[in-house]
Amino acid sequence: MTDKPKIPAIDLKQLQFYYQSGGWQLNLPGLTLHCGQHLFVRGVSGSGKTTLLNLLCGITRPVSGELYVNGQPLHQLSSSARDSLRAKHIGVVFQQLNLIPYLSVLDNTLLSSHFAGQNKTDSVNRAKTLLQRLGLQQDLWHKPATNLSVGQQQRVAIARALLPKPTLLIADEPTSALDSDNRDAFMRVMLAEADANGCTVIFVSHDQSLTQYFHYQLDMQQLATGVQPC
């Protein structure tokens, strides 16, 4: 009996995207990433890194081409179906973090498990453990997110993204405000959590020193010419 072929975590083919205002275009011939692989993406400012992440997590839809995430055809799904897939399976850390200013650190963290439909008591316990491992101690948990420094907010954002144990984690410059000790702790917690849950990671950063943490690295120029990470 032969093994069933494994479904890639990410599989894109001849993907094209441009904004309504025109001018700039993203053309990606192909990219395949398998479950559990961790990819570091770099590129000069304006090369399309954030646009690529928005496509991969279904916030925007490609103009043409095919984009499969865990076998789901994102290029064919409605906006609400893409939102539902993201809530259940994709953890995202946006460059702007998108924390709710008036909610506490703990409630911001819990939002992801709420949208994923997970058990509240289990989620609260796991959220507290994650926050602690990221160096955010109990005295901060009930403060509004806006009372935190940007580096602390970045750690809340990764805790929120990791909480529901996503199958795909997408992070856009999530460590830009962290000092080196907190950045290293952040990377260790993020990747240990990802490995424990078989989660695929796509991580965008300008910080070249972080490439040591990843299985593969690519720049946007390589992606635009169809270079594969393996």
Ligand X SMILES: Nc1ncnc2c1ncn2[C@@H]1O[C@H](COP(=O)(O)OP(=O)(O)OP(=O)(O)O)[C@@H](O)[C@H]1O
Q: Any contact of residue 25 with ligand X (CB under 6 A)? A: no
CB of residue 217 vs ligand X: minimum separation in angstroms?
Answer: 15
Per-residue exposure over 175-190, b if at least 16 CB sit within 10 Å of its own CB, e if not? bebbeeebbeebbebb
Q: Any contact of residue 152 with ligand X (CB under 6 A)? A: no
CB of residue 46 vs ligand X: minimum separation in angstroms?
Answer: 4
Of 9, 10, 11, 49, the residue at the interface with ligand X (CB under 6 A) is 49
HEC letters along 118-177: CCHHHHHHHHHHHHHHCCCCHHHCCCEHHHCCHHHHHHHHHHHHHCCCCCEEEEECCCCC
Query: Which tokens hold the place of 85?
Result: 């897939």
CB of residue 152 vs ligand X: minimum separation in angstroms?
Answer: 22
Q: Any contact of residue 42 with ligand X (CB under 6 A)? A: no
Closer CB to ligand X, 140 or 204, in the complex? 204
Q: Any contact of residue 217 with ligand X (CB under 6 A)? A: no
Closer CB to ligand X, 142 or 206, in the complex? 206
Would you tell me how many other CB atoms lie within 10 Å of the CB of residue 46?
Answer: 10
Question: Which residues are at the interface with ligand X (CB under 6 A)?
Answer: 19, 21, 24, 43, 45-51
